[in-house]
Amino acid sequence: MQTEMVHNLSYVNGNLQEFISYLDTYYIAQKQGAVIATVNPEIGYAAAKDKGYHQVISSADFVLPDGIGVVLMSRLTQHPLKSRIAGFDVFLSLLGLANRQSKKIFLYGAKQDVLDAVLNRISKEYPHIEVVGASNGYEADKRFVAKQISRAKPDIVFVALGYPHQEQFIYENKHLFPQAVSIGLGGSLDVFSGTVKRAPRWMIKTNLEWLYRLVTNPWRWKRMLNIPKYAFTVLRDNKSNKSLYSKQAEDQTKQL
Ligand code: UDP
């Protein structure tokens, strides 16, 4: 799968369908495990600030641009990303795929009532999926859940604990479920259960989903300040890299 670097992370450069079909052919069909990280500007900024978290994200097999901010920032590079690949859409596509192929899934995260609603919807709309385990994200000890996943041997593990916990959980425990494709989903289970509404289609299409989240969850405003901070960091580093490269080019020309 083609990738492009945006501020020290290598993102999948393609659309949702291309990504799912690649994942299916080379990983799910081969029972080959993979880790998928869905990165929005908040996560990108956290990774830029924290080396440990950067290591966690960059060790994923696939880093997806789950935020228009990442795509916009990529336009500063010579090879911009073609499209955003939203975690929620990947979740729906993987459920569809798991249903068609009667795959086993494990769900970890969200509140118990949300999880119950998710399980209910999956059993109705995706009847061929075998749910081999589910744990809410509040009660059980993380190590206990990791062992449960290991024993259940799912094909796909959905982890919805919010960042950075979900990425950290997968990073620390992926060796216990090497055959599985694992993905961090943020608030996707809340949306899928109907507890939280996703932005209207026109807002998603016009890249305003972030604004919808801000208006409907005003408590997020502090967290969302990380979006302009991310933009500033990328712009600043891009500029200093450019000046570093042009200085190197100038030096090389002088040497010639
Ligand atoms: N969550 C959880 N356990 C926790 C904290 C959060 O399971 O200890 C869940 C929460 O119920 C929600 C998701 O993690 O379903 C986080 O959603 P959010 O939209 O905040 O994701 P983020 O933007 O932080 O990735």
Task: Report the pLDDT value the prediction gives residue 62, as an integer from 0 to 100.
Answer: 98
Evaluate whether residue 251 is within a structural domain: no
Evaluate whether residue 37 is within a structural domain: yes
CB of 189 closer than 6 angstroms to any ligand 1 atom: yes
Q: What is the rounded distance in angstroms from the CA atom of residue 166 to the CA atom of residue 183?
A: 8
Evaluate whether residue 189 is within a structural domain: yes
Task: Report the pLDDT value the prediction gives residue 12, as an integer from 0 to 100.
Answer: 97
Ligand 1 nearest atom to the CA of residue 136, by list position: 7
Please tell me the residue having the least CA distance from ligand 1 atom 19: 187
Task: Report the pLDDT value the prediction gives residue 242, as an integer from 0 to 100.
Answer: 57
Task: Report the pLDDT value the prediction gives residue 132, as an integer from 0 to 100.
Answer: 98
Domain range for 138 is 3-245
Among candidates 143, 146, 165, 144, which has minimal Cα distance to 154?
A: 146
Mutate to test the pocket of ligand 1, among 107, 135, 161, 189 (most ligand atoms within 8 A of CB): 161
Q: For the domain that residue 193 is a member of, what is the CATH number?
A: 3.40.50.2300
Evaluate whether residue 250 is within a structural domain: no
CB of 39 closer than 6 angstroms to any ligand 1 atom: no
CB of 164 closer than 6 angstroms to any ligand 1 atom: no
CB of 109 closer than 6 angstroms to any ligand 1 atom: yes
Task: Report the pLDDT value the prediction gives residue 250, as an integer from 0 to 100.
Answer: 52
Evaluate whether residue 256 is within a structural domain: no
CB of 161 closer than 6 angstroms to any ligand 1 atom: yes
Evaluate whether residue 255 is within a structural domain: no
The pTM for the full model equals: 0.90
Mutate to test the pocket of ligand 1, among 36, 158, 190, 214 (most ligand atoms within 8 A of CB): 190
Evaluate whether residue 252 is within a structural domain: no
Task: Report the pLDDT value the prediction gives residue 226, as an integer from 0 to 100.
Answer: 84
Task: Report the pLDDT value the prediction gives residue 77, as an integer from 0 to 100.
Answer: 74
Task: Report the pLDDT value the prediction gives residue 136, as an integer from 0 to 100.
Answer: 98
Evaluate whether residue 236 is within a structural domain: yes
How many domains is the chain partitioned into structurally?
1
Task: Report, as ranges of residue numbers, the positions in the chain whose pLDDT lies below 70.
Answer: 240-256
